[in-house]
Each structure stands twice: as C-alpha cells, then as structure tokens.
Amino acid sequence: MERSIASRKLSQNTSSKNSNRHSHVVANRRPSQSRSTEAFGGSCKVCGGTSWDADDIRGETICADCGFVAAENMIDPGAEWVNHSGGDDRSRVGSPTTLTLSDKGLSTEIRRSDLTSGGARKHGLSGKGLRDWRRRQRIDQRSKTRDSRSRNLSSAMQYIRDRGDLPPQIEQEAASLYRHSVERGLVTGRSIRGVTAACVYIAAREAKIPRKIEDVAKAFDMISEIETKELKRTIRLVARNLGTHHITSPDEYFEKFHSDLGLPPSVLGEARELWSTVKDNLSWQGKKPSGIAGVVLYFASQNSTSPRTQSEVCSVSGISEVTLRGLLKILNQMIKQ
C-alpha cells in the first residue's frame, strides 16, 4: 500500500514536471512560427469537412479530408524575426549589423533629410515643431558619443565610408582593422585620418585590389611629403601588429593599368604570359610592384597595334621615366637569356 502511494506521487511529480516543461516551450514560440487559420473555422464547401491543415511553407490552408485549398498566399501577421548571422536563434529584427557605423547600426537615429524644410512640409511639421525635432536630434547625437572612444569610432567610420572608395565587403574589413587597432592602442598619439587611411590601404591589399599609397594619401588629403611618410610608417605599424603581411604582386596591377591605358584585351593576355615567364627571376627583388607591372604592360603594348608612350605608362604606374627605362633594360636582359 505504501509503495503504491509513493509510486502514485512519483508519477504525479513527473507528469507535473513534463507539463511545466511543455508549457515553457509553448510560451517561447515565436509569433511567426505558426499561421492563424481561425478564418476557416467553418465547413469545406467541397466535402463539408471541418478539419483544416496549414502549410506554413506555401502559405496555404487545406482541407484535411479532400485536399481542397481554401486559401493561398496567406499573410503572416506575426513579427518578422530574422537572424543575419546564419544561426538558429532568430531573436532580433531589423537590418544586419555593420562595422562601418560606430554603434554597428544597432541604435536608431533621426535622419537629417526628415528635418529639412521639404521634409517638414511632407510630415506636416510647423516651424516650432521643426525646431523642437532638431533640438532632439542634437541631443540624440550627443548621447551616442559621450565617451572619447565613441567619438573616435564615429569620425573614423565616417572617413572610411566617405574617402575609402571600397566595395561594401572591403569596407567592413577596413572597419574591423581599425577597431582592432583601437583595442591595441595603435591610435593613441596618431591622427584618426592617418590610421584609417592605413587600414583602408591594408584592407585593399589583403583583398588583392590594387591601390597605390599615393592614391590613398590623396583621397585622405595627406598630400605633403611628411604626411605621406607618416602614412607609410603607420601602414607598417598596423600590418606588423595585426599580422597582415600580404605582399602585393605586380600581376595584381595588370587589370587596373590595362584599363587606365585603354589597351586592347590581347595586350593583357601577352603581359600575363610574359610575367609568368620572368616572375621567378631574382632581379625583381626590391623593385616597386606597380613599376614592374607598368614596364611589362609597356613592353607588351610595343609589340601590339596600340603602343603607349613611356610618359603615359609612367603617369598610370606612378614611376619616373628614368625608372621605367631602367626596368626595361632588366626585362630585355631576361628575355634574351
């Protein structure tokens, strides 16, 4: 008798635990994981059945007895839960996070276009209401950049977006490099503009996108000789600390220089074939990759129907005519050998 009572209590506790667990699972269901079929509580007009099945993938309500499709293209009234990271947890909504924004795009903002005179008329704002919203916008912006690091990231990300001239994916890499530089203290004592320019150059180099240091310096208004030297020094510092040691090959410049010079496609193919023949020669060590690419394209263009002058090639590759002629002598010796 005592055993039966104990076993009965144990079964009751087990059933209560299972019911609690089941109720916990049901309470956490996302509103978008099930579709409402309450509108089809009547009978089927084909067979008269009252059992309905919902196809969540196709968005259809089907009669369970005869298969009649009572409704299609159903609209899910629940929240659109998404996950941009590819995981199973769909716990947030909105656009994906981005590293090119100081707050990664997680906070909302009051757009400036909505607070112009035209935007105010569109939204029905009076002059006083427009002034109030502009004041709220200033307070909102200041609240997001209270500490120095937030202001630093805000300025740096603005530089990368406005002056980097990179594809969106490479912009993300440049922003990631800058954030790692901030964490390692590489920005302390250096200009934000110089470090962002170095991160943009390194991100383009790692992605094998040809970008000369002079072009990056010009885009970031670092034209003077002192600023250019400082940029080169910062590039070496960031690359050494972040472990980005990709060495640019001359063949990475072929397509860009070929496009800038307006050469026919056959010249690009001949330049690649010529480079595959002479690339293992040790005489190229210590030479500028863009200069090597320029002299190879110059040599290939001279044997085609669209030759280019030395000054044209030098203006594209960023070397002097004296350097080009010196590299041309080396190339001719390799071809003779």
pLDDT tens column, 266-280: 999 999 999 998 888
CA atoms within 13 A on the CB side of 166: 31
Kindly give the interhelix angle for 265-278 and 289-302, rounded to the nearest 10 degrees: 120
Q: What's the rounded mean pLDDT across residues 177-196?
A: 92
Helix (H) or strand (E) holding 157: helix 148-163
Confidence band of 2 (pLDDT split at 50, 70, 90):
very low
Q: Which CATH superfamily hosts domain 250-336? A: Cyclin-like (1.10.472.10)
Q: What is the DSSP letter of 73?
A: S
Q: Is the pTM of this model over 0.85?
A: no
Cα dihedral: 98, 102, 108, 112 (round 10): -110
Q: Is the pLDDT of residue 229 over 90?
A: yes
Q: What is the DSSP letter of 92?
A: B
Segment 24-63, tens digit of pLDDT: 333 334 444 444 444 556 788 888 888 888 887 778 888 8
In the block, residue with structure tokens 């009751």: 12
The per-residue pLDDT of the chain, averaged, comes to 80
Beta carbons within 10 angstroms of residue 191's beta carbon: 15
Contact call for residues 288 and 246 (beta carbons, < 8 A):
no
CA distance 162 to 337: 49
Sheet holding 69-71, edge to edge: 52-55, 60-63, 69-71
User: 136 vs 92, which has greater pLDDT?
Assistant: 136
CA distance 316 to 249: 17
Per-residue pLDDT at 91: 56
Q: For the structural domain made of 148-242, what CATH number should be given? A: 1.10.472.10
The reply to whether domains 25-96 and 250-336 share a CATH topology is no
Per-residue pLDDT at 1: 41
| % of the chain beyond a pLDDT of 90 | 32
Q: Where are the domains of the chain?
A: 25-96, 98-144, 148-242, 250-336
Q: Which of 84, 185, 301, 235 is nearest to 93 (CA)?
A: 84
Among the four given CATH numbers 3.40.50.150, 3.30.1360.180, 2.20.25.10, 1.10.443.10, the one describing domain 25-96: 2.20.25.10
| CA distances from residue 324 to 264, 327, 335 in whole angstroms, order as listed | 21, 5, 16
